[in-house]
């Protein structure tokens, strides 16, 4: 058995209780009350409700989690709350042990006991073993990086490039290679919620930190900047505050729309901006809309924010969404069925954070249920996130699936082009419309470019023959039908 040595509880009587009023139940309930105050109800429900207290004896509380995935997730995201709660409830020397259910398909759960991970310490040990002398320096850099408020998981390698972010991506790479010495100063990234603005800006910061050890990179949210500024005024530390920011080499400020209406803060930003810009230091900003649309920001600041380049990020298209899902799965070391990936990519369209949320929720639910993640399971698990799961199967759905399959536009499909993939796509669209909907020949003809019903009959017969004869065409049609079914689930 492995032991957690991060916390040690005072010695208690070695009392083991197995009923509802057991001591482990009481300790755990109090911990849950403390944890509940810090995290949102959905996260609490997902991650803490399934945990069972198993034992409290000697100086240690043992909790049972449904899988190693659960254990790793809790350790990565909630260990701090857990430790604090234990300390509050039991005292300063608490010890925690996880019992992990490995497989409950064969009757009795098989459990594995693990202590909490001390991620930093483990990381240090790991680097040390691999690297000998360089280890400490690598670790020290990691620690410094934390002070820059950069999250090392946000890199260019983990950022999927698509039409939605291609300008922002290219500009960010260029800035990362040559901070302060390029035409993109400031670089402003703008776009809707959860589309990767923070990720792309932090990727610049991380790249600069990797390649230029001595550079002072700082990521700060506008909110934190504004709060620190007010505190500095109140504590008579405004001089230190100003000189701290004026000494940064790459200053990254997130969500600058938050400065709207904050005149004093804007004035401070104005002076910091001027000092940094004049000394060729790089400034990177993000906003939830174009700078010109942010109300309540002084003109002199707006004009400076427009000196460099503003690049937008749009919601990702279908192919990019799929690529993002695959990349996130790869990073988590898991794989989903193609149908499941397509279902998520089809239904979560506006926010990459929500795409990630779906993956996490599925993995969490699977750890509990220990069943395969198929389409049905996905639908029921994600019903709170994907609200409109049942869509009408109509001619628009068929049009969308056919266009995506052949990489053609809806104008192509409805137009007069006789190019092979367009005319075949059009015929398949009409054939599937007849097969999968109650639409009349007239309605189908009108929808696909105002064609008369004899053209529709010809298309249906042509494709029906291809389907009957099997082969490649049939495969294509089956695949498109499958995609239509997924879109309309
Ligand atoms: N193109 C992408 N490739 C891979 N991951 C992405 C991509 N875009 C966004 N993400 C991921 O989506 C999540 C949300 O991104 P991020 O926090 O950067 O969005 P944001 O635009 O800053 O959101 P907000 O407006 O809420 O601040 C992050 O985990 C990020 O890694």
| Segments making up each domain of the chain, as ranges | 23-116, 163-313, 318-381, 395-487
Would you say residue 147 has pLDDT above 80? no
Residue 69: per-residue pLDDT: 75
Pocket test for ligand 1, best of 350, 353, 360 (most atoms within 8 A of CB): 353
Length of the chain: 489
Read off the pLDDT of each residue in 27-48 and give the average, rounded to a whole number.
Answer: 84
Would you say residue 344 has pLDDT above 60? yes
| CB-ligand 1 contact for 168 (6 Å cutoff) | no
Name the architecture of domain 163-313: 3-Layer(aba) Sandwich (3.40)
Does this model's pTM top 0.90? no
Residue 136: per-residue pLDDT: 37
Joined tokens for residue 202: 């932090």
> Average pLDDT over the chain, rounded to whole?
83
Read off the pLDDT of each residue in 88-105 and give the average, rounded to a whole number.
Answer: 76
| CB-ligand 1 contact for 195 (6 Å cutoff) | yes
Residue 115: per-residue pLDDT: 56
Name the architecture of domain 395-487: Orthogonal Bundle (1.10)
Q: Ligand 1 centroid vs 66 CA: distance in angstroms?
A: 29
φ, ψ for residue 114, nearest 5 deg: -140, 145
Residue 149: per-residue pLDDT: 87
Would you say residue 392 has pLDDT above 80? no
**Residue 196 annotated as part of some ligand binding site:** yes
DSSP 292: G
The predicted-structure confidence for 399-432, as pLDDT tens digits, reads as follows 999 998 898 999 999 999 999 889 999 999 999 9
Please name the residue whose Cα sits nearest to atom 20 of ligand 1.
Answer: 194
Residue 467: per-residue pLDDT: 85
Band of pLDDT at residue 15, cut at 50, 70 and 90 = very low
| CB-ligand 1 contact for 46 (6 Å cutoff) | no
Residue 2: per-residue pLDDT: 29
Q: Ligand 1 centroid vs 116 CA: distance in angstroms?
A: 29
Q: What is the enclosing helix (H) or strand (E) of 283?
A: strand 282-287
Topology (CATH level 3) of domain 318-381: Helicase, Ruva Protein; domain 3 (1.10.8)
Report the share of the chain in percent with pLDDT over 90. 48
Angle at 124 between CA 122 and CA 126, to 5 degrees: 70
Would you say residue 228 has pLDDT above 50? yes
Read off the pLDDT of each residue in 306-315 and give the average, rounded to a whole number.
Answer: 94
Residue 267: per-residue pLDDT: 95
Q: Is the ipTM of this structure higher than 0.90?
A: yes
Joined tokens for residue 434: 């007849």
Residue 14: per-residue pLDDT: 37
Name the architecture of domain 23-116: 2-Layer Sandwich (3.30)
Would you say residue 200 has pLDDT above 90? yes
Are 132 and 180 a contacting pair, CB within 8 Å? no
């Amino acid at each position: 058995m492995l032991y957690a040595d991060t916390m040690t509880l005072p010695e208690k009587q070695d009392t083991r209780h197995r009923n509802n009023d057991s001591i482990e139940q009481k300790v755990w309930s109090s911990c849950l009350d403390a944890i509940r105050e810090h995290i949102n109800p959905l996260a609490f429900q997902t991650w803490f409700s399934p945990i069972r207290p198993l034992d409290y004896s000697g100086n240690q509380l043992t909790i049972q989690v449904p899988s190693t995935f659960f254990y790793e997730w809790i350790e990565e995201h909630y260990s701090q709350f857990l430790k604090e709660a234990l300390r509050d409830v039991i005292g300063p020397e608490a010890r925690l042990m996880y019992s992990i259910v490995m497989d409950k398909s064969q009757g009795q759960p098989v459990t594995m006991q693990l202590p909490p991970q001390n991620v930093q310490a483990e990381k240090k040990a790991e680097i040390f073993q691999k690297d000998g002398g360089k280890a400490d320096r690598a670790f020290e850099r990691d620690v410094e990086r934390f002070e820059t408020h950069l999250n090392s998981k946000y890199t260019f390698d983990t950022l999927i490039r698509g039409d939605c972010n291609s300008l922002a991506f290219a500009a960010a790479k260029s800035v990362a290679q040559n901070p302060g010495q390029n035409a993109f100063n400031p670089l402003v990234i703008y776009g809707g919620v959860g589309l990767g603005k923070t990720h792309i800006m932090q990727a610049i910061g991380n790249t600069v930190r990797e390649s230029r050890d001595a550079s002072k990179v700082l990521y700060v949210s506008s909110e934190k900047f504004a709060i620190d500024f007010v505190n500095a005024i109140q504590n008579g530390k405004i001089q230190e505050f100003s000189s701290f920011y004026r000494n940064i080499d790459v200053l990254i400020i997130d969500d600058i729309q938050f400065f709207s209406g904050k005149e004093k803060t804007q004035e401070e930003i104005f002076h910091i901006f001027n000092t940094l810009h004049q000394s060729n230091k790089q400034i990177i900003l993000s906003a939830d809309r174009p700078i010109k649309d942010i109300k309540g920001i002084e003109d002199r600041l707006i004009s400076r924010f427009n000196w460099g380049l503003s690049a937008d990020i749009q919601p990702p298209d279908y192919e990019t969404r799929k690529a993002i899902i695959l990349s996130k799965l790869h990073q988590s070391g898991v794989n989903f069925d193609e149908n499941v990936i397509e279902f998520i990519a089809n239904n979560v369209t506006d926010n990459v954070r929500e795409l990630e949320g779906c993956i996490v929720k599925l993995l969490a639910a699977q750890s509990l249920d220990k069943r395969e993640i198929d389409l049905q399971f996905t639908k029921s698990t994600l019903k709170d996130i994907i609200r409109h799961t049942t869509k009408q199967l109509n001619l628009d759905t068929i049009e969308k699936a056919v266009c995506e399959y052949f990489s053609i536009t809806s104008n192509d499909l409805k137009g007069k082009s006789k190019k092979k993939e367009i005319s075949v796509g059009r015929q398949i669209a009409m054939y599937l419309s007849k097969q999968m909907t109650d639409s009349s020949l007239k309605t189908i003809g009108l929808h696909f470019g105002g064609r008369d019903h004899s053209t529709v009959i010809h298309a249906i017969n042509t494709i029906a023959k291809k389907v009957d004869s099997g082969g490649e065409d049939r495969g294509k049609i089956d695949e498109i039908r499958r995609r239509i079914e997924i879109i309309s689930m």
